[in-house]
Amino acid sequence: MTEAPDVEGGVSRLAAIERRHDLFAYRYDGWSAWRVMRNAAYQAAGGLPLVKPNRRDWSRSLAALVGTMRLLWILLLGRRKDLLVKTCRSALRLEVDGTFLDVHFDGLLTSGYTALKLEEVNTPNFEMQAAAALRPADLDPVVFTFWGRILGTLLPADVKQFCDDTSRLLRDEAGIDMKPGWLRMRVSTAFWQSRMFAAVLRRVRPRAVMVADTGEYALNIACHGVGVRFVELQHGIFDASHPDAVPDWVEGSTAELLLPDVLACFGTFWIERLRGTRQGLTAVAVGNQMIERARSKRSQRILDSCKRMVLTSQGLDSERLADWTEEMLSSAPEGLAWRLTIKLHPYYDAQTAAFDRFAEVGNVEVVRGEALPNVYDLLAQADLHLSVASACHFDAAALGIPSVIVPLAGHESMLPVADQKSLFVISSPSDVWSVLAGPATSAQRASSYVAPGFAENLRQLVPAAA
């Protein structure tokens, strides 16, 4: 296997640099320009081998032009809505009576709220789900990216000197090559996108905006400018080490630092993990709809002698993960009945061939990200979970399932929470079988990982109608 990158070293160097040079302090249009650059800089500093599927430029451009007509209709004739929600197509993972539900927001939207739904097409493999969506999207937000880049190119933000200085600083002190023009485009695009979002908000006049991921900078800017509550749902692992978690030493208002008015976390465990951050001050525990459903399914499962394992990939070091898995399987104890399901990530591993080698292994099944069963249904029947550094580690813990942290690139972020009771760090692939043979995991902290009552908790975050 190839040598893993120095993740911790690169991130630590960048953290020291941004504090020493106070990169958060520079303001453009009233907000921190570094905020819209920071995530990408930290990803580069970590050097993780993360693979993202590409959506062809012509396809995105065509979708943007079609979306432009829809956007104009909304601006001219759109009606007031209770909510504006921004989600992604890969969230269409729950099938109910032949229709597919968005696991982030459809549980809320079926409660009677009117909404303008933006759905990012983040993978090409969910066309069937989109065609059978219970609550179809109203607009593809690629239209905002498309026109934001065009306007950002024609009328760039006046941040050239800051971008020149930041680019030089990142290169000389952190070894990160981020061109000044690219950094300037990040700021310029965010500025023009925010202007477009603000126009939509003034027409729709929602009581709240809810987004399903961090990094929605432009929509955040627009909400603060118009005066609409901005609620961000936790997506994946979000703690103090995340590139979008702003340290508590950073000065500035919520609007200046592009922070959510409310961060809706899975459970109290995550609020504890956000200590030392600005987001931790506004975090509340709301739960997770799919974990609630999986808990119910798990309580009804029928036990047998076969040990079922679920490995979740995430586009992170996929080739080395496949090598590691192959070595693990070769060390399986004789006479043990076992079955492994490899569930590919619906976005990052949409185009990988790393796990094709297992197609002919009789008791191994590879399930693509867009295919059923979804990962929560798989976990509901599992005896063990494995991954490198995935939110599924905590999903498993919330269901009382032991979860093994595979020691490959990126796993370092999991080390502080590995307790060897629910979350296990191992040194070699063969150690998996010892964990599998060990005692059952205690579910005492299950609700701290994922709180109960998701839909009702989310409803509590919607302001009352004026």
pLDDT of residue 55: 55
CA separation for the pair 320, 318 (Å, rounded): 6
Two tokens at 309? Answer: 């394992």
Banded pLDDT at 250 (limits 50, 70, 90): very high
Domains and CATH numbers, the chain: 1-231+242-260 (no CATH), 292-449 (3.40.50.2000)
208-211 and 83-88 beta bridge pairing: parallel
Assess contact for 391 and 237: CB atoms under 8 A. yes
Amino acid at 18: E
* Angle in degrees, CA 216, 219, 221, rounded to 5: 105
Q: Closest Cα partner for 263 from 244, 291, 248?
A: 244
Q: What is the pLDDT of residues 414-450, one digit of tens each?
A: 999 998 888 999 999 999 999 999 876 665 678 899 9
* pLDDT band (50, 70, 90) for residue 1: very low
Mean pLDDT of all residues in the chain? 92
In this predicted structure, which of 39-48, 89-98, 264-273 has the lowest mean pLDDT? 39-48
Candidates 37, 6, 43; CA nearest to 23 is 37
Query: Per-residue pLDDT tens for 136-150?
Result: 999 999 999 999 999
- Give the pLDDT score at 56: 63
pLDDT at residue 30 in the model: 98
Q: Taking the alpha carbons of 232, 233, 238, 243 in that order, is the dihedral positive or negative?
A: negative
Between helix 180-204 and helix 57-77 the angle, nearest 10°, is 30
> What pLDDT sits at residue 327?
96
75-79, 332-336, 397-401, 411-415: segment of lowest average pLDDT: 411-415
Contact 153, 185 (CB under 8 A): yes
Give the pLDDT score at 190: 98
- Residue 360: predicted pLDDT: 85
pLDDT at residue 49, rounded to an integer: 57
3 pLDDT tier (thresholds 50, 70, 90): very low
Q: What is the pLDDT of residues 190-243, one digit of tens each?
A: 999 999 999 999 999 999 999 999 999 999 999 999 999 999 999 989 999 999
Residue-wise pLDDT tens digits, 177-189: 999 999 999 999 9
pTM of the model: 0.89
Residues 379, 384, 386, 392, Cα dihedral to 10°: 30
**To the nearest 5 percent, what fractions of the chain are helix, strand and coil?**
45, 15, 40
Tell me what the mean pLDDT of segment 381-406 comes to.
94
Within 10 A of 115 (CB to CB), how many other CB atoms are there?
A: 20
